[in-house]
Amino acid sequence: MKKGISRREFLKGAAAGAVTVAAAGMLGACTTSGNDTPTTTPEPTPVPGGDGKYVTKAVGHESFVHVATTFFDGKITACEVLQHEETIGIGNYACARIPAAIVAAQSINVPNVRGASITSAAIKTAVKEAIELAGYNVDDFSAEVTKPTDNGVYEETADVVIVGAGTSGLVTACRLLEEGYSVTLIEKRDIPGGSMAMTYGGFATAGSQLQFNYDVDGAYAASTYGSVEAMMNFWKVMTKYHRTEFFTGEMPYMTAQYSTAGKVLDWMNSIGIGFNTIGNFEGATQYGFATPYMAPGCYEGGAGYAMMFMAQRVEKYPNGKIIYSTSVDQLIKDETGRVVGVHAKGENGAEYTITGKAVCLATGGFAKNKEMLQKYSKDYADFFFNCASCSTGEGIQMGIDAGGYVECENRPLPAYLSSYKSKFELAFIHSTAPGIMVNVKGDNIGNIISDNHYTMAKAKLNPENGDTFYYVFDEASAVKLRDSEAYGFNGYTAMFEKGEAVHYDTVAAAAEACNLPNLQASIDANNTAALSGEADAWGRKNCPYIETRTGIWMIQVDPTFYLTTAGLAIDVDCHVLNTDKQPIAGLYAAGDVCGSIEEKDAKQYGMGFDAALCYGYIMGETLKKEL
C-alpha cells in the first residue's frame, strides 16, 4: 500500500479492480453459436470534446496497453501508460520511452523501440485514438520523426569487448567488472536482453548453498538434483534423450554446466537477484525446488527483471559500458592473428573501433536468418520461429570468418505451442490448464506432458496432421488458465482478452464450427483413460479428464520452433575453436551463438537458458584466469 493512502481510498481502488477483473472475464465469454469472435461487454467510450485527458487502449503482445493522453491548446501535454501486462524486460521499455517521445515530438510517428516493436505500436495506436476523441486532426500529430544522426568516428579500448548484451554477455560482463576489469558491450537493439526476458526464468542447479540451506532433512542432497554426480548419472542413463549415433558415454559440456549451476545461483542471489521461494508447497507453487525461478516466478517476468538488473549493474561501474543500437560488422586481428577488437556501426551513423585483450561473442542463434536456416537447419528453413527478432546469426558468421567452424547442425529442433492468430507463447499450457491437442481432423496428437517439446515438433513435421491444431480443455482448466496458482503465473489470461480462447456449448458444435470430425472420439478415448487410470495409447497414465457437460473451450494453436542448435564450436572453457579444434587466440563465445551444449554431448536440446547462464559465468571465470 502506498504511503498516505486512506482505507476508504484503498477499498474504492479494490472495488474498481474487481469490476475490471469481471469485465476481463466477460471478454473471454464466447457466443453459444461457436463463432470465433467472442461476445464482449461494451466498455464506456469517452465523449469527444476538446482538451482534457483521454484513456484509451490497444492490444499489445500480451494484452491491452492502457494509455492516458492529455491535450491542451492544440498540444499533447502529457502521455502515460497506465497499465500493461507486456513482457518485463521488453515491453516495459516501450511503455516508458514511447509516451515521452510522443510528447517531446508532438507526433505518434516516433521510432519504435527496437526489440519492443509490438508494444511500441500498441501505444501509438492508443494515442491515435485519443487524438481522434479529442477532436484533433491525426495528421497534425503524425510528422515523421527520425533518430538524431552522428557521423562521428570513435576509437575506444576496454579489457574485454562483448558482442551482445543478452544472457551470456551480461553475466560475463558483471563477473569481470566485479574483479576490476573494464568491459564494453555492444548491443544492436535499443534494449538489452536478447532472448533472456522471453524465457521461463528457472534453471536446474546442483550443489548451491541456497538450496542446501533449505535442505534441513537431507531430501535435496539425496535427490537426482542434489549433486552434480547424481545429475550426470541421471542423464547418462536416460537413453531416450540420447543421440545414439553420437553418444560416447562422456558428457563433458553438460558436466561443466551443472558443476557451475550452483555457483551461478548463489552468485545471482548474492548480488541482489531475487528468487521465488525455493520448494514445493501444498496448495501453492509446485515447481521451483530443483529448478529455482527468478522472482516473482515462472513466466511472470523474473528473467526480465534479472536481465534489467544486470544491465543496470554493468553501467553502474565506472569501467562498464553498453553501446546500444549498434551492430558489430567485423572482428579485428593483430599481426599474430589474435582477435583484439571489433569494428561496429550505429544506427545513427556513428562508427566505432573498440580494441581490447579479448573479444566475446554472445549474439544468440540464427532462427530469423532464412539463409543460415537453409544451410544449417534445412529441414526447418520454411517454418516460422517464435523467438527474439535479433536472432540473425551475425556472431556465428564472424566466428567463422575468424577461423572457427559450426557444429550441431541439422539436428532435430524442439517446438512449443503458440496461439495461431497472435503467436502468443503457450509453452506451459499443458501444465497450467490440462487438456489435449488435436490435429486438423480432431485426432489426439499424443503425449504433450512428459515429452512436450519434441512431441510438438513431431506433430508439426507430420504432414498427416495438416497445418491446423487446437488445444481442447474444459471449464476447470479455463479457470486455471486465467491464473494458475500451482505454477505461479497468469500470463495466459491474454487468450481470453484477445478472444482466442473460444467456448462452445457442445463438442458437436465445436467439431462442426472447426471441421474436426474425430473430436468427439478423441475426447471420449482420453476421458476413458482418465477415469480408469489406465494408460492411453501413448502410455500416459495421467490423462486430464475433460468435462463436456458445460461445453468445451478451444484455442487454435500452432507448434512453433523457437531456436537453433547449430553454432560455433567451443571447448568447455568457452574458447572458440578453429578447424583444427584449437583455440582461436583472443576469441571466446557463450550462449546460442555456440552449438547446443547438450547436443555436443549427444543429448537432445532441453536447457538452453541454463546453458547461457552457466557458460556466461564460465566465460567470465576463464577470462579472469587468462587476461
Instruction: Convert 64-87 into a string of H (helix), E (strand) and C (coil).
Output: EEEEEEEEECCEEEEEEEEECCCC
pLDDT(8) > 70: no
Q: What is the pLDDT of residue 286?
A: 65
pLDDT(97) > 70: yes
Q: What is the pLDDT of residue 485?
A: 66
Neighbours of 183 (CB within 10 A): 26
Looking up cell 553502474 gives 316
474-500 pLDDT, tens digit per residue, is 999 999 888 876 666 677 888 998 899
**How many angstroms separate the CA atoms of 285 and 283, rounded?**
7
DSSP 8-state assignment for residue 196: G
pLDDT(363) > 90: yes
- The four Cα atoms 338, 343, 344, 350 give a dihedral, to 10 degrees, of 150
All domains in the chain, ordered by first residue: 47-146 (3.90.1010.20), 155-412+563-626 (3.50.50.60), 415-561 (3.90.700.10)
What is the tally of helices (H) and strands (E) in the chain?
A: 18, 20
Q: What is the pLDDT of residue 45?
A: 56
Looking up cell 492544440 gives 74
**How many angstroms separate the CA atoms of 520 and 1, rounded?**
50
What confidence category does residue 265 fall into, taking pLDDT thresholds of 50, 70 and 90? very high
Mean pLDDT of 222-236: 87
pLDDT(105) > 90: yes
What confidence category does residue 287 fall into, taking pLDDT thresholds of 50, 70 and 90? low
Q: Sign of torsion, CA 435 438 443 449?
A: negative
300-346 pLDDT, tens digit per residue, is 889 999 999 999 999 999 999 999 999 999 999 999 999 999 999 99
Mean pLDDT of 13-28: 32
Average pLDDT, the chain: 89
Q: What is the pLDDT of residue 4?
A: 37
21-69 pLDDT, tens digit per residue, is 223 333 333 333 333 444 444 555 555 679 999 999 999 998 899 999 9
- The four Cα atoms 212, 217, 223, 228 give a dihedral, to 10 degrees, of 30
Q: What is the DSSP string of 490-525?
A: -GGGHHHHTT-EEEESSHHHHHHHHT-TTHHHHHHH
pLDDT(520) > 50: yes
Mean pLDDT of 204-220: 88
Q: Which residues contact 30 (CB under 8 A, 6 or more apart)?
A: 37, 38, 39, 499, 501, 502, 503, 504
Q: Which residues contact 318 (CB under 8 A, 6 or more apart)?
A: none
**How many angstroms separate the CA atoms of 472 and 464, rounded?**
19
Looking up cell 576509437 gives 155
Spatial strand order of the sheet with 358-361 comes to 320-323, 183-186, 160-163, 358-361, 583-589, 575-577
More confident residue, 176 or 5: 176
**How many angstroms separate the CA atoms of 103 and 440, rounded?**
48
Single pTM value for the model: 0.90
